[in-house]
Amino acid sequence: MKPISCFILIYRSEANDLALRLAWQYTGHKDIITLDNAYHGHVSSLIDISPYKFHQMAGAEPSQHVHVALSPDTYRGKYREDHPDPATAYAENVKEVIEEAHKKGHEIAAFIAESLQSCGGQVIPPMGYFQKVAQHVRNAGGIFIADEVQVGFGRVGTHFWGFQLQGEDFVPDIVTMGKPIGNGHPMSCVITSREIAESFMSSGMEYFNTFGGNPVSCAIGLAVLNVIEKEDLQGNALHVGGYLTQLLEDLKKRHPLVGDVRGRGLFVGLELVRNQSKRTPATAEAQEVIYRLKEQRILLSADGPHRNVLKFKPPMCFSREDAEFAVEKIDQILTDLEKAMVLQRPEAAILETGHIKRKDASDENGLVHPSNGNSHKHTSTIPLSKKTKRN
């Protein structure tokens, strides 16, 4: 194992900002490749590489040093579950992005990605995608940054780190992590090779952080690691997460509003659609589910480019009983919504009409594409409950 260096910080944004600085110094290059719908933090350098944020700013133009590659989404993306090799196809898109940057005289410093995209809609990259991307990026003189802030520390169940899902033959050049280290206490961390760290220190500008690595925070971080190990929270994420996924898969069989269930361990997404065949995003319906769950003291959020993916990222001590309770309430809400919408499953429509009419990609995604990319063509006619009706 190669020697590694660790920078202990306070916030996620500090960690990812430092990762960029390390990449710029080590490679001598400036440009960053990020994934569509990605989110990496709230400081200026990270808003620039977070399409999830800068797409919302009317009239805003991306930095000339930032290049956006396709999100490796095999449910709603360009290359889907029926593609023979989506990992290669999405990685080739990154290669094309690199080539376009080179044509403009730009050089790539780094590719950055969440190991599993969270704000992008609980996207699970196809196996082998990171290896292929890393090869293209390293051939171009760049490095690979894995953002583990939301999925690290055993959350995916089978592995301690999300990037390990890609296989033992993949190791990022820099790994960033955050919230889970302190279980709520503000801590973050950047792990990299000794070579990259020393190149940064050789610039003549030392890295200084007033509270980073303070003994109280470090003691808290060690205590959290001890609890993860002693209480086998990674094992709990695997078993309870698998049970939760199965309960949600059962929901999909009963509810036409459920288009897809995907995830690993206790990192799961439930994508709601108005039509399972056309995959029309059920944005308003997802919001209604969230509001009604809040009345039951269950907190969920919706993410993804259409805000129609319900995010399950509960505490690592989440139990089977917790999963049953949450899914039971979602089942009831979906039943109410579908009655109001008079929805039926696709196979029922086939029996009635003998065929299913296909739509083009813009209809399927439920979007028109204005300059700021924010408008939705489909709107909901679902009546809101009295308690959740908003002005």
**Considering the entire predicted model, what is its pTM?**
0.86
| pLDDT 10s digits, 141-160 | 999 999 999 999 999 999 99
- Please tell me the least confidently modeled range out of 67-71, 95-99, 121-125, 361-365: 361-365
Residue with tokens 């050049």: 173
Question: Measured at the alpha carbon of residue 287, what is the angle toward residues 283 and 291, in degrees to the nearest 5?
Answer: 170
Residues 264/241, Cβ–Cβ less than 8 Å: yes
β partners of residue 281: 273
Q: Quick one: 81 exposed, middle or buried, by C-beta within 10 A (0-12, 13-18, 19+)? A: exposed
What single DSSP character describes residue 123? Answer: B
CA 353 to chain centre: 38
Give residues with Cβ within 8 angstroms of 388, minimum separation 6: 288, 291, 292, 295
Residues 115/38, Cβ–Cβ less than 8 Å: no
Smallest Cα–Cα separation from 315: which of 237, 232, 225? 237
Write out the H or E segment, with its range, that includes residue 32.
strand 31-35
Instruction: Tell whether the model's pLDDT for residue 253 goes beyond 50.
Output: yes
| pLDDT 10s digits, 172-181 | 999 999 989 9
d(CA 128, CA 368): 33
Task: Encode burial over 173-207: b for 16+ CB neighbours within 10 A, e otherwise.
Answer: bbbbbbbbbbbeebbbbbbbbeebbebbeeeeeee
- Reported as half-sphere exposure (CB side, CA atoms, 13 A), residue 51 has a value of 25
Smallest Cα–Cα separation from 343: which of 257, 283, 259? 257
- Which fold, 4-230? Aspartate Aminotransferase; domain 2 (3.40.640)
What is the three-class DSSP state of 224?
helix
| pLDDT 10s digits, 180-200 | 999 989 999 999 999 999 999
Q: Where are the domains of the chain?
A: 4-230, 234-365
- Which fold, 234-365? Aspartate Aminotransferase, domain 1 (3.90.1150)
What pLDDT is stored for residue 360 in this prediction? 41
Residues 147/113, Cβ–Cβ less than 8 Å: yes
Instruction: Tell whether the model's pLDDT for residue 384 goes beyond 50.
Output: no
What pLDDT is stored for residue 243 in this prediction? 98
Q: Can you tell me the mean pLDDT for 347-356? A: 42
Residues 147/115, Cβ–Cβ less than 8 Å: yes
